[in-house]
Amino acid sequence: MFAVIKEQHKGVDVCISNAGLAHPELLLNGKTSAWKNMLDVNVLALSICAREAYQSRKERDVDDGHILNINSQCGHQVFPNADVHFYTCTKYAVTALTEGLRQELRAENTHIRATSISPGFVETEFASRLYRDNYDKAAALYTKYKPLEAKDIVSAITYVLSAPPHVQV
């Protein structure tokens, strides 16, 4: 992916990682393969994208830009829903990843910023994928909680990207 971006656009200045998937696998008896899938998508993919975006700027002597991770409220709070406890573990990792990235960027004396946006429930296919065998359970989540819309997340991203260079959100 980054090789294609380099070829077509010379590099990456803004990297927005919006990875997130969950499997309803409990901590006490969940499938290892599902846990690995969540770690690969929710944590490892973000780490790779952050590294590659930073290296892209470094190769081009660009000392500006943004690495933005779309996280989750689950990255800050454990909700009483066993179906998403392992997913929550991965989102706590995104919180730590973003803060570690921010510290490393600061230690490199770069002007590249790192931000984590942690929305609550967003109206996407997330619930229907989580509960693909139980439509009623997925639909109930959207009636129990008033979900955010994609445009709400876009507004948050726009705010972060439009903040002055000396502002860390």
Are 65 and 14 in contact by the 8 Å Cβ rule? The answer is: yes
Q: Let me know: does 148 contact 120? Beta carbons within 8 Å.
A: yes
Query: Which helix or strand (DSSP H or E) is residue 66 part of?
Result: strand 66-70
**Choosing from 87, 135, 142, 159, which is the catalytic residue?**
87
Instruction: Identify whether 87 is a catalytic site residue.
Output: yes
Query: What is the DSSP code (8-state) at residue 97?
Result: H
DSSP 68: E
Distance, in Å, from the CA atom of 29 to the CA atom of 33, rounded to the nearest integer, reads 12
What are the residue numbers of the active site?
Answer: 87
